[in-house]
Structure 1
Amino acid sequence: MTSTLFITGATSGFGEACARRFAQAGWSLVLSGRRASRLQALCDELSALTDVYPLELDVRDRHAMEAAIATLPAKFAKLRGLINNAGLALGTDPAPQCDLNDWDTMVDTNIKGLMYSTRLLLPRLIAHGRGASIVNLGSIAGSYPYPGSHVYGATKAFVRQFSLSLRCDLQGTGVRVTNIEPGLCESEFSLVRFGGDQARYDATYAGAEAIQSEDIAETIFWVLNQPAHININTLELMPVSQTWAGFAIDRSAN
């Protein structure tokens, strides 16, 4: 039986790498993304390997998501997997200096967009039953605070708790839920966070041997291909060069 996978945020980073990895294994793909030209180029490339269906949409748009999912072609309607990859961080300024519009965008994308795709696709995953999987892209920022993480870290803490709660609600359905929590990863994600500052991006990863998008894709491929009775609840990954920072201390007091 053909396995079909739905990936949000498929036009860059982890989503794009996952699309390529699963296409190589013959999975049929429903790929969603906001950037039409990138999405079409990726679908054209991968259609030589497998069946691909593009969805140009923004996960923040609930009504567009509802319409797109309701009208999926029968060939792609029964899903074995969902990768909730769409998400972003905007800025690293301290909370008092942040733009509320950036906070709204992170909440709308990282929380509400993930909620929409999950709820709308759950009936299809439950219909598949044993072996169906939801993989949510969290972050170590959901567990370990750091300066400038504020709302981004809070959204990823939501992803972690939402993933654990879904496991409770889906007991008996055979649907598995995994929260992937990467540390330092080199991808377009950081360039967006830095407002396109290439020099800052380069400095962040210089000599760090950071995790690559392909590493995350390979990890997710492993998760989805575990025996149907195994659920990987949470999986935290860091490059060997990264570890937990010490607690910050303000020494300006008299």
Structure 2
Amino acid sequence: MALNTQRMEKEGPAMAMKVLVTGATAGFGRAIAERLVHDGYRVIATGRRQDRLDALAKALGPSLLPFRLDMNDADALAALPGSLPPGWQEIDVLVNNAGLALGLDKAQDATIADWQQMIATNVTGLVEITRALLPGMVARNRGHVISLGSTAGTYPYQGANVYGASKAFVSQFMRNLRCDLLGTRVRVTNLEPGLCGGSEFSTVRLRDDAKAAAVYQGTHPILPEDIAETVSWVMGLPAHVNINQIELMPTCQAAAGLAVVKGLED
């Protein structure tokens, strides 16, 4: 954090680095916004639920700008830089946090609407907002794109189908983005968490509070504050250091290996 803190002390609060966090109304996004404001950054918190954005702004003060944004609105994403108020338009860091999983049905039983929603948010929305903000970072020759991927993009499991595929896309997109940005001072990082609690993720996925709670029963999962700590650390490293990718799991989780079914006849 020393390098960024020195810069902010030199330039003053009005010139503090500006960070845009998508999906900031709950879970990871909210924790990231809170942590980065605490660290001294100016944070643009986006999401669809205006009441939650307003509550976050009230809690965190003038260093946080609430900005209603739908990740499925292509026009709003493309117009984003010019839609922000003066003094907030030059984004130094984009945290691509918004995303979701819907359902755990096997592919042959899954709902196509759920698949389409995951692709629209986890893939299309992510690339569109990145494309909207990237030219400004390259022009200023500074910036950082941080995306929240998932271990589901590496390790398959039953019911992950399109969700896992969307996170595999994020992983490969970020690798290729890093190649395209070689020769600039724009950094690219993909964070891939495993089992995470303390958010709406499983409630949204399973559409049932009791089933969501059962996912974490008897475990000590990664929490939103752990993700926020990781984002803070990655951002605070010296500007010449790029963390390409971090995979993180709680100690109660590990890759389970390949599955084998016995009793099948040729």
Pair in the same fold by TM > 0.5: yes
Residue matched to 2:138: 126
Identical pairs, percent: 49
Residue matched to 1:167: 178
2:43 to 8, 29, 46: 29
Residue matched to 1:213: 224
Using the alignment, how far apart are the partners of 1:99 and 1:155 within structure 2?
16
Offset of residue 129 of structure 1:
2.5
Answering whether residue 97 of structure 2 is matched by residue 90 of structure 1, we say: no
2:237 to 217, 226, 238: 226
1:1-254 equivalences in 2 (<5 Å): 1=11, 2-47=16-61, 50-130=62-142, 132-186=143-197, 187-195=199-207, 197-254=208-265
Q: Which segments of 5 or more consecutive residues in structure 2 lack a partner in the other structure?
A: 1-10
Verify the 8 A CA contact 1:30 1:52 in the aligned structure 2: yes
Query: 1:85-129 CA distances to partner (integer Å, 9 max, x unpaired)?
Result: 010000001111111000000000000000011000112222442
Secondary structure (helix, strand or coil) at the match of 1:177 reads strand
Select between 24-33 and 71-80 the one with higher mean Cα deviation. 71-80
TM-score (norm 1): 0.95
Query: 1:165-215 CA distances to partner (integer Å, 9 max, x unpaired)?
Result: 0001111120000000000000211111011x1221221111210000000
Verify the 8 A CA contact 1:80 1:133 in the aligned structure 2: yes
Offset of residue 224 of structure 1:
0.5
Secondary structure (helix, strand or coil) at the match of 2:54 reads helix
Using the alignment, how far apart are the partners of 1:202 and 1:99 within structure 2?
23
- The 4+ residue runs of structure 1 with deviation greater than 6 A are none
Verify the 8 A CA contact 1:77 1:124 in the aligned structure 2: no
Verify the 8 A CA contact 1:80 1:128 in the aligned structure 2: no
Using the alignment, how far apart are the partners of 2:136 and 2:59 within structure 1?
27
The aligned length equals: 250
TM-score (norm 2): 0.91
Secondary structure (helix, strand or coil) at the match of 2:234 reads helix
Q: Which segments of 5 or more consecutive residues in structure 1 lack a partner in the other structure?
A: none
Query: 1:132-173 CA distances to partner (integer Å, 9 max, x unpaired)?
Result: 211000000000000000000000000000000000111112
